Structure 1
């Protein structure tokens, strides 16, 4: 018999070194911290009011201005969280694309999150980025949240643990983080204006909890405040939550940046604790802030507080002269592709595996089916989008992994009911011209999406001379038939395909929400009959113009394309024949950017297009049907009992296909457990995401996620924490000493495996205002066949506390509790009674 300690306390050498670095940096009394503070104070004392106000306004879309008089270089921020895009939103500047945050949370492994953070710091430094605008730690309050793929979980404790690992990893590389969106930005509908009405208890126990845990455990260098209001006050002006709670109670000493365009009022923002209003240079700060000080509306001391925090950040990341950065020697180089594969396969959740359908039997034939198998959706839509240098689709991965002649492919059903960014088959470049038509510069265009933010333009190109940008090149079709071309963007465009002009007009916005316009659906503008393999010339020319009131200059538009649309019934029939002829059918189903994206919520949880019909038809033809679900958050699976296996892969990042092949063939087991409950929309207890008269009451209080499912007595499709591997586990004993629980499990299967041991705390008498149970701890263990492993879990004090709204403080609730260890919220194997 061998005993293995839980993986949450067993770091490999690389992770141990990083974690030790983070621990030593966390000491506020460290002499290096004191030295940095001295430099900050000296620099602050040299600045005049106008320079200080300008610093807090930002200088463009992504950076703060340099102040040479104090040795301050420009501080650069970039979107995340699955990669570092940098200041250029273009495929011309590729980034490593890791799996979605829901996938990272599905690993239930804070150490893996730490390693992901180390890689992202490496990417940030490569791109000249000092601060990553991530992680997102809002909760999955309702399954309809359109941006849930970018957040971790429905559970605040799991979210806090994963988020802490991520922040520690990024900052161990000398790059700052901004934990977002503070707070209660849990849906997208009317997010600029919605007033979320949340009880103080729900705020404390749920929505603030991950932020509090990360501030305590990881000392983030930044926080981003949200667009929405909470209980009547917009978050960029929320004195109570920012100054009294975040900074006062929790001791947060980092900087507070607005979500982009969220700041609305000069005096209220600075009084409410907002340090930086982005993007610049025209914001509620800058000249407006200096004027407010001179007019006596704002004290200069308030401005100094904000500038001090920005300079502290600059000192920490190494852009303030005279201050030694927190990290002088970055961690060892991380292999981005290898880590992306590891996270992906560790995140895949096998929720059903009838008669051992997976792993695939060696030597068998496989019919791979689905549009997402050929063109994988590896990340979600919106500001989290990055552009990887390569993407491995499931078809690519399985083709490489399976013996030649054993794999066939059929489209089956295409979930994309609208045009997508011009990609496969296109070879494009960008040509810039002045008003006379003279070429003044060129740039590469790896895809049909172009986005430049001034002054980051191709060599030789300046805004005062730039009149048009043309995306031009060739397209080689993969199929013969009518191909549709379209445009996403605003302004004047001219579209030509194969020498024929199809559109020469102006596209205007039809919605008030700029994010809907920016991330919205492309407009079809041309249909051309093309022949497979025969290249044609394509051209999309855009006349560059900016509204007079636009404070920043962004050139953004997209050439879009859709392949010939075949009869859906014929496609499904072809897939059925392929499935019938194979030993195993693997159907890949997916959501689309129209379903899961920043900017809007979901109207339902159904898979788009005819994908449900496809799965039913294939399952009827082949009892060994495996369904791979490529979505960032829950979808309904009405056929789940009719198929042999269901594997959830989230948005699996750039190494999707390789990781999937490794899991399907059994080279690695699927390691994920559900970080959020999966169920049907009619059964879901909390669904309201649309405000009424500008207000969205969180009437459910502390009952979201599994807490709500249990309170309502409803059974989901798959419960929180659920997930299967390729071996079996017996839970043998649980022992509790003080606040430490030790759980012994045995691998009863025939292959090595990893188990996520979950501990739930259940009060003997919860009453109507407390959940029946909640996650109190977890650990992952590994063991060979027949061997045992021990998971050692320390129970946090907060697990026994509730927020007393009358007293305005945390209350330790004494009494009897049952500590329940198991494989999910619904599969609890061992119990121990403890007295608090």
Structure 2
């Protein structure tokens, strides 16, 4: 048994401080004489990247966090967490950097696919399940980003002004829930809150998190968020990451010796790091956990359970395979599935099943035909062809032709000796004509096809910052005539500055000969007209939803709206699959037969989609966010800082709370989602501690229902939302079966923050609901 206090006494000041800062991009140093191994961290709310991003060590890619929240099921979130805990152990990772519980305050947030919901209760419940699952494998979590990092614009410098009541009831609430559940880590945000940068925010990190909530874990900075030696040390930060531009090290040792930072402050931080080390097995190996989870199965289940059937006119879905002879699958994203969001959430999955592939497999006896229709991607997709990657003496194969990593290099190569890489492939075109190839990434490139150099140059100007290199890649296209059936040898060479090999992102893009934009839409409409049903896959791109920037519009990029309208006019049985991580506008919603929201669905995307469309699995999702008809209807929209400040003037009226106050009707309300059966809510009994709801599956199929409980207060003061989510539960039943579910109503559901948590006595109405705008049963309740 490790006695942390005794271990701290054995350490010199320099050794103590060394444990509080990254030794490289992802890890803390080992101290062999006390038996402490290096603590390794990794990105990964949907997968475990490890210390690199190398495609020769792939990572299971689960659906996006918005998808996980759409399942409204903490037990499913726990299963997802257990899978990632298992993956972390496999990759030698001790701490997973997630989950993200920042609130979806405005739908323009570019990173909202990585957040759960616009509601703090739903976010906290899902996050608790996820954390419980990861930590069951002896892997730490770091719930992030404390706090107010609800948008990306100017995130490094902006100051977010949040009133105390909104801070407590809305923005801190999911963090508090995870801390209460025993989370081992918290990540502090880049932004400031109420005048103080979060990495140095003593009131939030020391007084509230560690003091009031009793948090005994570590507070780690977002990467390069710690920019002050003394301020961060006194402001509650425990670990400053990464090594690059770190303000601690020798500077912190000097600050302690000069008396600016008391050594007992350092000892507290070191104690927290050592406690984490004990928990994750960095002193003594943790026992192996038997009964490993099947990553493909979990990814498939989460995807199908997350899909939200938003519209289903005339029972278009599920499709009956026996009644189909020809199916049109349309859209660039039907072939090139967008399965995860951009930035820290990216991993390299072992495989990706596209919607086209999934449907073609499932409908083996049906003519399934494809048309691109409209292509919203500003960059060409990676060439789908086995491609050899050569780095020094290390060689591996990728398909598609894209490589990227941050941190460790493939094959354990030394970044200081790697000066470049090559992608080599032989591509045999199925169609002749003008093919377009593209180079994207950062560095200096040379592209040759059949030994002819077609491009040679550098994509980014000198001096471009690291963040811009990673989050804002550039592209160069070239055109070449190829003959059908005749192989072409393609070589892409990249030169890397010595020592810069820790960050690489390189793609060999390709587009075969195709009609122009008008021709592609005409082709898709013609195919739809000749088919029994048309499945149109639309969505956002990595240049729309990603870490590092916010959205400028909720409209689908490119000509996708026009495509849907044309296809729907050609075939009334048009099903639209929306492949986006957060809300988009759907001006064609009333003219299509069905709408299925699939988020970023992970590596099993197409297989799960086929199961849901064909009725093998019921779409289990309910909206964790409100989807608007028009941007102007959103109660909170603008993100741009004013004089370096974003003021949360709406207070507690975030998400559906704001929609209810505004009186505007969204396209689809919070909690909305259809299934393949019908539920009758029979009766509800309510006490001050729980709601007991009885309901019957009145349909012809087995199904699942998310019973949502909302509370509203009769008194108008203090100001409160028209109603708010108080609890929820999943139920399953066979046709004709009646089930009863008990949903707790903790005291917090009837409290507000007013210098402390205050119970507001009076009359309330408790409603059992299918969605926020679909209340099924109501009962009065008196709180004294």
Sort the TM-score into its range (normalised by shorter chain): over 0.9
1:450 aligns with 2:399: no
Q: Do the aligned partners of 1:425 and 1:477 also contact (CA within 8 Å) in 2?
A: no
User: CA 1:430–1:446 in structure 2 vs 1: closer, same or farther (change >3 Å)?
Assistant: farther
User: CA 1:172–1:431 in structure 2 vs 1: closer, same or farther (change >3 Å)?
Assistant: closer
User: CA 1:587–1:194 in structure 2 vs 1: closer, same or farther (change >3 Å)?
Assistant: same
Please state whether the residue corresponding to 2:20 is helix, strand or coil. helix
1:660 aligns with 2:609: yes
- Please, which moves more after superposition, 528-537 or 118-127? 528-537
Please state whether the residue corresponding to 2:19 is helix, strand or coil. helix
1:528 aligns with 2:489: no
Kindly state the Cα deviation for residue 305 of structure 1 after the two structures are TM-superposed.
Answer: 1.1
Match of 2:169 in 1: 205
The one of 588, 596, 599 equivalent to 1:647 is 596
Kindly state the Cα deviation for residue 767 of structure 1 after the two structures are TM-superposed.
Answer: 4.4
The one of 258, 262, 273 equivalent to 1:295 is 258
Kindly state the Cα deviation for residue 525 of structure 1 after the two structures are TM-superposed.
Answer: 4.3
> Unaligned regions of 5+ residues in structure 1, if any?
1-34, 433-439
Matches within 5 A, 1:262-661: 262-280=225-243, 283-321=246-284, 325=286, 328-330=287-289, 332-361=291-320, 362-365=322-325, 366-420=327-381, 422-432=382-392, 440-452=393-405, 456=409, 458=411, 461-477=413-429, 479-509=431-461, 514-545=466-497, 554-563=502-511, 564=513, 566-661=515-610
2:429, 2:255 → 1: CA distance?
Answer: 59
Kindly state the Cα deviation for residue 527 of structure 1 after the two structures are TM-superposed.
Answer: 2.4
Kindly state the Cα deviation for residue 424 of structure 1 after the two structures are TM-superposed.
Answer: 0.8
2:429, 2:545 → 1: CA distance?
Answer: 28
Kindly state the Cα deviation for residue 376 of structure 1 after the two structures are TM-superposed.
Answer: 1.0
User: CA 1:96–1:557 in structure 2 vs 1: closer, same or farther (change >3 Å)?
Assistant: closer
The one of 775, 778, 784 equivalent to 1:831 is 778
2:528, 2:348 → 1: CA distance?
Answer: 34
Q: Do the aligned partners of 2:556 and 2:584 also contact (CA within 8 Å) in 1?
A: yes
Cα offsets for 1:539-592 (capped at 9, x unmatched): 232332268xxxx86241313314045312211222112211222111111211
2:28, 2:404 → 1: CA distance?
Answer: 20
Match of 2:633 in 1: 683
Please state whether the residue corresponding to 1:289 is helix, strand or coil. helix
Kindly state the Cα deviation for residue 310 of structure 1 after the two structures are TM-superposed.
Answer: 0.6
Match of 1:819 in 2: 766
1:583, 1:59 → 2: CA distance?
Answer: 60
Shift >6 Å, 4+ stretches:
510-513
Match of 2:91 in 1: 127
1:416, 1:594 → 2: CA distance?
Answer: 8
Kindly state the Cα deviation for residue 502 of structure 1 after the two structures are TM-superposed.
Answer: 2.7
Matches within 5 A, 1:87-166: 87-166=51-130
1:525, 1:313 → 2: CA distance?
Answer: 49
> Unaligned regions of 5+ residues in structure 2, if any?
none
2:408, 2:119 → 1: CA distance?
Answer: 42
Please state whether the residue corresponding to 1:283 is helix, strand or coil. coil
1:299, 1:699 → 2: CA distance?
Answer: 38
Cα offsets for 1:227-257 (capped at 9, x unmatched): 0000111110000000011111111110111
Cα offsets for 1:683-740 (capped at 9, x unmatched): 1110111112211111111111101111010010100000000011111111013311
Kindly state the Cα deviation for residue 529 of structure 1 after the two structures are TM-superposed.
Answer: 2.5
User: CA 1:397–1:67 in structure 2 vs 1: closer, same or farther (change >3 Å)?
Assistant: same
The one of 28, 37, 45 equivalent to 2:9 is 45
1:685, 1:108 → 2: CA distance?
Answer: 24
Kindly state the Cα deviation for residue 223 of structure 1 after the two structures are TM-superposed.
Answer: 0.5
Kindly state the Cα deviation for residue 293 of structure 1 after the two structures are TM-superposed.
Answer: 1.5
Q: Do the aligned partners of 2:440 and 2:507 also contact (CA within 8 Å) in 1?
A: yes
- Please, which moves more after superposition, 463-472 or 142-151? 463-472
1:195 aligns with 2:155: no
1:478, 1:792 → 2: CA distance?
Answer: 59
- TM-score normalized with structure 2 length: 0.96
User: CA 1:56–1:771 in structure 2 vs 1: closer, same or farther (change >3 Å)?
Assistant: same
Kindly state the Cα deviation for residue 534 of structure 1 after the two structures are TM-superposed.
Answer: 3.5
The one of 790, 800, 806 equivalent to 2:750 is 800
- Please, which moves more after superposition, 638-647 or 606-615? 606-615
Q: Do the aligned partners of 1:419 and 1:524 also contact (CA within 8 Å) in 2?
A: no
Match of 2:657 in 1: 707
1:228, 1:513 → 2: CA distance?
Answer: 19
1:411, 1:447 → 2: CA distance?
Answer: 19
Cα offsets for 1:660-693 (capped at 9, x unmatched): 1111111111010000000121211101111122
Kindly state the Cα deviation for residue 785 of structure 1 after the two structures are TM-superposed.
Answer: 1.2
Number of residue pairs aligned between Structure 1 and Structure 2: 779
Please state whether the residue corresponding to 1:350 is helix, strand or coil. strand
Match of 1:31 in 2: none
The one of 731, 752, 760 equivalent to 2:681 is 731
Kindly state the Cα deviation for residue 331 of structure 1 after the two structures are TM-superposed.
Answer: 5.4
- TM-score normalized with structure 1 length: 0.90
1:710, 1:531 → 2: CA distance?
Answer: 60
1:220 aligns with 2:183: yes
Kindly state the Cα deviation for residue 296 of structure 1 after the two structures are TM-superposed.
Answer: 2.4
Q: Do the aligned partners of 1:369 and 1:585 also contact (CA within 8 Å) in 2?
A: yes
Kindly state the Cα deviation for residue 495 of structure 1 after the two structures are TM-superposed.
Answer: 2.5
1:781 aligns with 2:731: yes
Q: Do the aligned partners of 2:52 and 2:408 also contact (CA within 8 Å) in 1?
A: no
What's the C-alpha RMSD, in Å, of the aligned pairs? 1.9
Kindly state the Cα deviation for residue 104 of structure 1 after the two structures are TM-superposed.
Answer: 0.4
Q: Do the aligned partners of 2:434 and 2:480 also contact (CA within 8 Å) in 1?
A: yes
Cα offsets for 1:124-169 (capped at 9, x unmatched): 1111111100100001000000110001000000000000000000
User: CA 1:44–1:738 in structure 2 vs 1: closer, same or farther (change >3 Å)?
Assistant: same
Cα offsets for 1:407-437 (capped at 9, x unmatched): 22222112213233x34124121232xxxxx
- Please, which moves more after superposition, 463-472 or 581-590? 463-472
1:221, 1:489 → 2: CA distance?
Answer: 36
Kindly state the Cα deviation for residue 810 of structure 1 after the two structures are TM-superposed.
Answer: 1.3
Please state whether the residue corresponding to 2:352 is helix, strand or coil. coil
User: CA 1:69–1:333 in structure 2 vs 1: closer, same or farther (change >3 Å)?
Assistant: same
1:103, 1:331 → 2: CA distance?
Answer: 28
Kindly state the Cα deviation for residue 610 of structure 1 after the two structures are TM-superposed.
Answer: 1.3
1:254, 1:449 → 2: CA distance?
Answer: 38
Please state whether the residue corresponding to 1:629 is helix, strand or coil. strand
